[in-house]
Structure 1
């Protein structure tokens, strides 16, 4: 099968379109014929091996996993001997190892049926970013109806989901993004939008019950100044220039500081679960959440898709069309 592979860490130039063996599903796995694969920042981190902290789990000198990509939408090609929920031909979406390929294996518990009213492009954009946003808003943020929620990075992959989810839970949502994305944040249902190139959301009298920071570039003190006295700050991942920890240093700082302040400082690293995929599938089906697709790239142009993701110019999610 065709797949995007890498044998060393580095820029998008290390990615190669190659012919490799088709994977064979284990007893509790399904083999999926990938129609579309989704792209998120974790793909960039595993491609570059930065921050170096990721290499402890994914290979010190080179990636243990050659094929990039996690998210996918497609149809079941083959079901393992112990799989009971799916049969060949079923349309599904979910998370598996190496989705930038014509076929991918995934555990039965990380795959759900694709709603009929959702395209493969839309479904492939959901798993990692949608689950991250759901965990940030519902599980870590514990959002309640009527609360004031600030989403930083409202025009990005996780941010576009976070805005819609916070609205679905009844919050008053303010989105923070660049000038080119303010219209997008408004279209997603944000009650207010702040263009950070012209306005600092910490200046003024507005305070928020929950801040979800998907951008990862602001200091804790800066973010806390915009919270209500007992507000919650959720840090989604973290970006930075440090080669060893990247933006994780801020995450560790928040965890250490949280017990000593009234604010709830909640770092998070998303792990996908079936319950969350089921929840997102239901929200997709009833129209409360609609994935935003920035661009669709053919498999051969996956490196270019990653370069655009890293530039920060994407509006929503990029996807890779494979079939």
Structure 2
């Protein structure tokens, strides 16, 4: 089969488009013919050597959508989707014509969206669901401030929060793309600058702050939350170590929650992917905007596009 593989860490230049052995099925697994697979910033970081547990040579790629072509009879021909913090890292990933998965990781994709759309959902919606539903316990009627609302995770958080019946304040350096679901769903937009905290206070503050930027935005995130509010952190953009006023922090009784979807393998992620299906089939959730499409042969260019900070999702169609 054809695949993208890296044998050493580095820039997208290290990616090779080559022929490798097609994975073989066994009693506990299934083979999925990949139709589409998105490229995430974590895929680019993986190729660069950011994750210590990745051992090359490795086929990268976390998110996918495709068709089961080998495995249990009841799954043959099924259209499935998935993601995982292990595929592309400790097991070969989705940027290939075929991928081998544990049977327990198989989840039927929503029937009303395409493979291309389905492949662009996994990482963003899984980490969004973990942070809002599982960890912060966001409930109807609460206000959530989403820092990084214009990005993939921020857009997913916005959709989940609105489906729960919450008010969403979007915060970013620039407003969401006009055609994106986030642009239509947010109740207010605030630029991320020196006025953000004051303007958020005028809006009543936030019960939950979902900070998809972190690092340089961390102190601002702490300043947006109400007493006994929850702050969710998933990243450390531009600044790994941060300073903040500890007295203000404990006087406010703020809860600080770290979320790392990379800790969820494809088996563990299957529960969350299954939970998302109804949201898409009932049109509570919309698939993200696909901004760039590439063939497998153009995967290096796809990675370069993501590395360059492209807005909207980047997808490889096999």
**What TM-score do you get using the length of structure 1 for normalisation?**
0.85
Alignment match, 2:294 = 297
Report what 1:94 is aligned to: 82
- Describe the superposition over 1:247-268 as per-residue Cα deviations: whole angstroms up to 9, x where unpaired: 4x459x9xxx988961000011
* Partner Cα distance (2:11, 2:106) in 1: 30
On the 8 A contact 1:160/1:188 being kept in 2, the answer is: no
User: Shift in Å at residue 113 of structure 1?
Assistant: 0.7
Distance in structure 2 (CA, Å) of the matches to 1:220 and 1:24: 46
- 2 CA distance for matches of 1:250 and 1:279? 34
Aligned counterpart in structure 2 of residue 71 of structure 1, from 29, 40, 63: 63
The residue number in structure 2 matching 1:166 is 161
Query: Do the aligned partners of 2:215 and 2:242 also contact (CA within 8 Å) in 1?
Result: no
Which structure 2 segments of 5+ residues have no match? Answer: none
- 3-state secondary structure, aligned to 2:76: coil
Deviations 1:156-211 (A, max 9, x none): 121111110000011100112343625336544111122336x7421332411111
Partner SS, residue 279 of structure 2: helix
Match of 2:279 among 283, 300, 306: 283
1:118-157 superposed matches below 5 A: 118-157=113-152
Of the three residues 254, 257, 274, the one matched with 1:266 is 257
Give ranges in structure 1 of 5+ residues lacking alignment.
242-246
Counterparts of 1:103 and 1:162, CA distance in 2: 30
> Is the CA contact 1:161–1:291 (under 8 Å) kept in the aligned structure 2?
no
- Pick closer, same or farther for the CA change 1:7–1:258 going to 2, 3 Å: farther
Q: Return the alpha-carbon distance in structure 1 between the equivalents of residues 75 and 105 of structure 2.
A: 15
* SS of 1:44 mapped into structure 2: helix
Q: How many residue pairs are counted as aligned between the two chains?
A: 299
Q: If the length of structure 2 is used for normalisation, what is the TM-score?
A: 0.86
Root-mean-square deviation (CA), in Å?
A: 2.5
**2:98 — aligned with what?**
103
1:186-265 → structure 2 map (5 Å cutoff):
186-196=182-192, 200-204=195-199, 205=201, 206=203, 207-240=205-238, 247=240, 249=241, 262-265=253-256
CA shift, 1:6, in A, is 0.4
- Cα distance between partner residues in 2 of 1:176 and 1:227: 13
SS of 2:185 mapped into structure 1:
coil
